[in-house]
Structure 1
Amino acid sequence: MSISINYIDVLAIQDTVENPEIQLAPLSEPAPIEFTMETPGWYVVAIIVLILLVWVIIKSVERYKANAYRRDAVNQINEIEKSFSNIKNPLYQVSVVLKQVSIISYGRALTADLYGDQWLEFLESKCKHTPFANYKTQLKDGLYKDINVDKAEVKHIFSLSKKWIKHHA
């Protein structure tokens, strides 16, 4: 087998090595694939997403309505807090709001007859980090007697009460 190389072939090889673009023809690209939502899978995905969206909205509205008593109670505490220097016994009013919230949440049979240490233990058991027992004397004596309570302690009791209302289980 003999290989014969002529001068033209050598020039063609040399041109191709030095300049490879000469040999390439333009690429023929296929037409772009159009993206459409016409396949049945997209309809299924759209229906599932729509159902989930409606479910989330319904649950959010239900949760909002179910927590209306919490918002009302926090607003009552805020009103008591704003005018607590003009109110004769603000701790009594805070205790009334807490009792109302507990009756709504846990039922009258469980919470209506609680008082004193049992009441404070109940409050602490239903929400973490609400140490009502630290203010036992203020809360117990403040309900029935006209005692002078430090304003800072009263403000802390207000904040504990709001925290309990917002986060009780």
Structure 2
Amino acid sequence: MQQDPIQIGELIEPTPIGFSFGAPGWYVLLGLIFLIGSLVALRIWLQYKRNQYRRDALKHLKLMTTTYYVPTQSNQLAFETVMLLKRITAGLYGRRKVAALRGTQWTELLNKTCKEVSFTPEDAAMLDEILYRPDTVSIQGWVPTFVQKSKIWIRKHEV
């Protein structure tokens, strides 16, 4: 026995629903986009405020470079640069830890906190000479590279 297929008739399709932003899902999506955008903006602003000391230090270093970069005052420029680095490191890593460091110990701390720049043992020796016997040493050729290393350290050190 063979059954006849049932004839239902022609398929009736409903009219399409018009597009509208009035659906509640769009309000949820808009709220999520606003929330994520606000969080991203807040994070960018906090990062900007957190790095304000870097911008201030670089401005100060630029001012010192234009003020002291003459052959007779290169020792003073190096001294001021060292003092700036000391203030930054003392603020970041603790005054007790940083104040006692000198020579290679201090340059090792600088090297550990920034992978982009490396202060050499010669830098450490020159820094000791500048800090503790500033009148006995002439370091005109060494100062520009030290200032450049310091700028890189200020920009890229890890907190």
TM superposition score category, shorter chain reference? 0.7 to 0.9
Q: TM-score, normalised by structure 2?
A: 0.78
CA shift at 1:33, angstroms? 6.4
Kindly report which structure 2 residues correspond to 1:135-150, keeping only aligned pairs within 5 A, or say none.
135-143=123-131, 144-146=133-135, 147-150=137-140
Aligned counterparts, 1:28-39, within 5 A: 34-39=18-23
Which one of the candidate residues 142, 154, 164 is aligned to 2:143? 154
- Alignment check: 8 A CA contact 2:114 2:157 kept: yes
Displacement after TM superposition at 1:166 (Å): 1.2
Larger radius of gyration: 1
Query: How does the TM-score come out when normalised to structure 1?
Result: 0.73
Shift in Å, 1:79 = 1.1
RMSD of Structure 2 on Structure 1 (CA): 2.1
Paired residue type of 1:114: L
Amino acid at match of 2:114: C
- Does the residue aligned with 1:132 lie in a helix, a strand or coil? coil
Report how many aligned residue pairs link the two structures. Answer: 139
What's the counterpart of residue 75 of structure 1?
59
Which among 70, 80, 88 is matched to residue 101 of structure 1? 88
Runs of 4+ in structure 1 deviating by more than 4 angstroms, as ranges, are 31-34
The CA distance in 2 between the partners of 1:68 and 1:61, in whole Å, is: 11
Q: Give the gaps of 5 or more residues in structure 2.
A: 1-14
Report the Cα distance in structure 2 between the residues aligned to 1:42 and 1:145, rounded to whole angstroms. Answer: 69
Q: Which residue of 1 aligns with 2:5?
A: none
Percent identity of paired positions between Structure 1 and Structure 2? 30
Corresponding residue to 2:110 among 85, 109, 123:
123
Which blocks of at least 5 consecutive residues in structure 1 are unaligned? 1-30
Match 1:164 to one of 147, 153, 156: 153
Distance in 1 between residues matched to 2:95 and 2:124, nearest whole Å: 23
Which residue type is aligned with residue 160 of structure 1?
K
Pair 1:112 & 2:102 matched: no
Compute the displacement of 1:34 (Å). 4.4
Q: State the distance in 1 between where 2:32 and 2:155 align.
A: 33
Which of 5, 25, 38 aligns to 1:41? It is: 25
Give, as a single letter, the amino acid of the residue that structure 1 aligns with 2:130.
G
